[in-house]
Structure 1
């Protein structure tokens, strides 16, 4: 690859592997216990209505987030099943059943669980800090903007503590290493670099367009948006947070796109720094084997994309 690539790709770390989303297919590569790499390849089904919606600013972010939660859950489940098979020693028995497992009902069920998990998790992360802030500072002063700032600070503390805590477990640490491998491959591709392990390892494990950056932006954007509204009771505050959640998500997605577009502008590139800081927790430096899995997933995704659309 000699020229800088312009295509935009995204991915996700899974258990012992990486998923990449192409134009026509999602591909997950997983390193098995016997060191072989296996793949889950899920073609994208055209949905003209969703395609049209995803072109509308602020709306497209919400649609994309829900779609990512659904797809990501499916691929994470595949990797978890592969890991469980390896640990139990029954991988050979399970291989003939692999295609049977991923029937339409299973895919829809896993997608629904993924969406519900995201919604419930986001509601908890939004509402619990509001309760805590109100419990501690509710009667200390009347300034609503200051209450919003404290609520945002509590969210960030909760988030950092949660990420640090889970990163101490061996399985999550490896997941974060694969997350770093995913970023390195995308960065290498976007720079026009050759996709070899040695070349990819030279790139940063941090990336402006990461979902981790999106999380921190939802906190910062939420502080600003909530400041335009007021409340008198805790009940009103909670309802307000729930109603405004789609707005916060939609605006945060646009901010993420904006910071990614401006990352080469000397002054404006600092807008994306908070997200990069958070990635210091959500990514770890991958080893060569993990980078090799990420490259295999990316190359297989691009190969299948070219088969559908050679141009």
Structure 2
């Protein structure tokens, strides 16, 4: 296994892949085509990449911002209608308008009947013009996704909810034991147990949701594509299908490390002041995230018994957050990889392959939106 420097995440009916500053979001649209958007995302983590712990905190926030942006784009693209679907819907609405107009005509209300038909025609014309404009601009509703204020608020709310659910709730629940005279050590241990229980319960709950299960299939496609090339195989549907859907650098593993590291920190760093206990937990969250990032980074860079042993709990947990993808989902993952990564060059350099490289194999640079038919 050779480190490839690419990573990604599942989005709604698609996959986002990132390679350095370049990222791509590939989405299977409603008309069964693959729409790909490429763009550059310059991370602040690059400025502190040599500082352990700190680089992890910056990389975590940076990944969260990019992930939200990719998720919004995928939701917009998947929700858009194809021209055929639009015409079918407009035809149904036209029939309803004609039936309503006929009733009005039979009642002698000719002007109202004409107004109903005229309004239906105007609405249809506006929707056709909107679809054509989206096709020309390549934007559509995704303009809202680029709204910096909305994106910032989404990230902040996500962080607040995560801290409240996985960090503060276990703390307050464990403090209830104080009322029955439990020693501080027992309370700290129970806090850790509750944190893991809430985390695993949350993962188990969302893994049962049908809509989320499709996203988890794309999550599996993302992992399988990366595993395919990092194990020296040609990137095609057949090879991706037989690759593993678990990967050591997965965000699921990162979250598990966050839970475990936080338990260790909060178990040994104590204070008798109730207010300070809360303050310390909040202040240590960036440190916990940074230390957890170092574990994930270590897992990605090395392949030995020690690292593999550390990775096993996270890989096991991915059984909840990944599903086996179908071939159509694998195709989306491949499209996302090829938009940002020259896998043929990578296999030539790391596995002694002999692919003839062409300009078409190079990843697309800059901002671009295109459709694979």
TM-score normalized with structure 2 length = 0.74
CA distance in 1, matches of 2:173, 2:77: 40
Query: CA 1:277–1:147 in structure 2 vs 1: closer, same or farther (change >3 Å)?
Result: farther
Query: CA 1:50–1:204 in structure 2 vs 1: closer, same or farther (change >3 Å)?
Result: closer
Q: Residue 123 of structure 1: CA displacement?
A: 1.4
1:279 pairs, out of 318, 334, 352, with 318
Is 1:22 aligned with 2:19?
Answer: yes
Is 1:117 aligned with 2:157?
Answer: yes
Q: After superposition, where does 1:98-177 map in structure 2 within 5 Å?
A: 98-99=138-139, 106-124=146-164, 125-136=166-177, 139-144=180-185, 146-177=186-217
3-state SS of 1:55 partner: coil
CA distance in 2, matches of 1:216, 1:152: 12
3-state SS of 1:99 partner: coil
Q: Is the 8 A contact 1:70 1:110 kept in 2?
A: no
Is 1:11 aligned with 2:8?
Answer: yes
3-state SS of 1:70 partner: helix
3-state SS of 1:280 partner: helix
2:247 pairs, out of 176, 186, 207, with 207
Is 1:76 aligned with 2:115?
Answer: no
Task: Provide the residue aligned with 1:63 in structure 2.
Answer: 58
Query: CA 1:51–1:268 in structure 2 vs 1: closer, same or farther (change >3 Å)?
Result: closer
CA distance in 2, matches of 1:55, 1:305: 28
Task: Provide the residue aligned with 2:228 in structure 1.
Answer: 188
Query: CA 1:67–1:97 in structure 2 vs 1: closer, same or farther (change >3 Å)?
Result: same
Is 1:36 aligned with 2:75?
Answer: no
Task: Provide the residue aligned with 2:349 in structure 1.
Answer: none
CA distance in 1, matches of 2:11, 2:310: 28
Q: Residue 157 of structure 1: CA displacement?
A: 1.3
Q: Is the 8 A contact 2:39 2:365 kept in 1?
A: no
CA distance in 1, matches of 2:76, 2:140: 14
Q: Residue 70 of structure 1: CA displacement?
A: 0.7
Residues 257-307 of structure 1: CA distance to partner in whole angstroms, max 9, x if unpaired? 223344x32344211111112111111111111111101111112269645
Q: Residue 113 of structure 1: CA displacement?
A: 3.1
CA distance in 2, matches of 1:275, 1:175: 19
Q: Residue 77 of structure 1: CA displacement?
A: 0.3
CA distance in 2, matches of 1:10, 1:237: 36
The CA RMSD measured in Å over matched residues stands at 2.6
Task: Provide the residue aligned with 2:92 in structure 1.
Answer: none
Is 1:222 aligned with 2:262?
Answer: yes
Q: Which runs of 5+ in 2 are unaligned?
A: 87-126, 343-360, 367-373
1:85 pairs, out of 80, 84, 90, with 80
Q: Residue 229 of structure 1: CA displacement?
A: 1.5
Q: Which runs of 5+ in 1 are unaligned?
A: none
Q: Residue 241 of structure 1: CA displacement?
A: 0.7
CA distance in 2, matches of 1:100, 1:84: 11
CA distance in 2, matches of 1:248, 1:233: 21
